[in-house]
Structure 1
């Protein structure tokens, strides 16, 4: 039964920020405002809960997507995780990604060659997911806007230099924030945006909930912040270390356990994300320094940026130790993909990768693990 609504005076999908974080705007519909969601989007014909966007129920569609995880893979663990997270958290069709096998494209035509590879135009006749058709029990797809740009990247396995450049640019952006006397209060990969070539840091998190606790994605929050201490520049260094490890290990931190108080307790007691044995030792040591429970032991953003810059220069100058470590890391990643060793990732249903208010009582004082 179709119980959806569409109020064109409001946004097409909910905003997941806490209601207290932003100025009131009648066009905005917040995730927590169930009554307004019901008025603007109607209710789901299956679970009878208010929609999260035009013809979209986040909870029901997340279950459908999750049930289908076993039926597809990109062949790359990191890409699979990224797509799966977008599908589980999508509040509207525009927020979910799909893995599209190459054979699904038609009328592929060469357009030009860019700095990183060749660019083609293509068509995808089946179209993109628009909403779940309850009557037919299948996805309704938009078959009209079906033209796409395809890019074929050169040396796509040898990406360590790209990783280093990306980390340097993020560090540079964080340095600008610190030099302005500011501290980012919600630093995680979801707030790293990209233009055509460069990453930049968004949503400084200056508008925190007007209540005790903190706001953010738990794995990226420094232990002293979880404990209740004020934000410092050192807390940003901790978050940067978690992101750096995620980039190199190609794995979301703590993806197999709930993001709850027990995890917060473990982090305060010294638990940190697993560091892959394939990460060059230079970067593994740098990550560990960023995670130190004693904030004075963490590098400053200036020291961090200089270390990343130095590593890139030494790689370019063929520093024998670092160059060989990075080369070996590239080879291992390529071999794993060629051998089909990308495992099926099981993400815990309570590993919620969205910002939310956290207020854990009676946490232990942060220490390093023994």
Structure 2
């Protein structure tokens, strides 16, 4: 029993539901590819001027969390926006993160699949003037990822809107990049709810027009495109794009609101997963996908259904602050010893939000060490004057 604040500014007693899932590896091969997009934490002892300059990453804790995901049979999306790319983590830090992660992945007994984000964040946004500038920056990061042994994710870049790129500019840049990559990549369509500076990506603020552009790029280079991750938080957009993709090109859902339905599919088509939410709900995600692989859809929905309210709270507006909730849940579950984040990002959400995440995670059977979770929740409440 503990006392938690509510979203309407009251205090109320809360008793844990119990019956938490025990994290474990799937017992059968999965029929969906599942990348969990992981965050990083900073070393509380080494961090200096957390709002300025590069972070002092806590490598032990950050890698420990990745092993926790891998041990449950999930793949990893590395150095994405979940890891605060452009929001506290710079390219040299991201490059080191990728290299460390790939070394650990090669040594892991399950040999997890790892895809890594390539972007243009080694230079400030206003440094980009031409498409050649964008190509050069992407190329540098792609080469580093391939040298480390990772699959490339071509992350959405703020540089395109910064230069006012039109559809033809996107076609030129992505065409050049796809020609030079050594293995098929995952494209990345991140909506402006995640990053307002990406508004108008693919050369248009109209989703239908933007979709025509990206489909044209994929069609022209289908042998170099493994798939596309779409994060627009609108189920119909994803279903439309999925229906129109060339055969063999995968749709990786980034919809942290509707993933359960999209991954299950409509009987003809389904989405794979590249989700920040999966880093927060790993035991339920892994065991639900195991059930789906056995065509046990009742268990699939019983496991994933209760996680959707949790994910919606994590990704509530302003959506770009969702990373704090994922790190908080990793701390509650003892997958990390703290949740101090680059730039002090843990302070981007309020205590009532964290209390609501605690309740929703418990109801979704995601507090796998209940006593530890209660101890840590009480500590956080006390720091906020709630004893």
TM-score (norm 1): 0.28
TM-score (norm 2): 0.27
Structure with greater Cα Rg? 1
By relative contact order (CA 8 Å, sep 6+), the higher-ranking structure is: 2
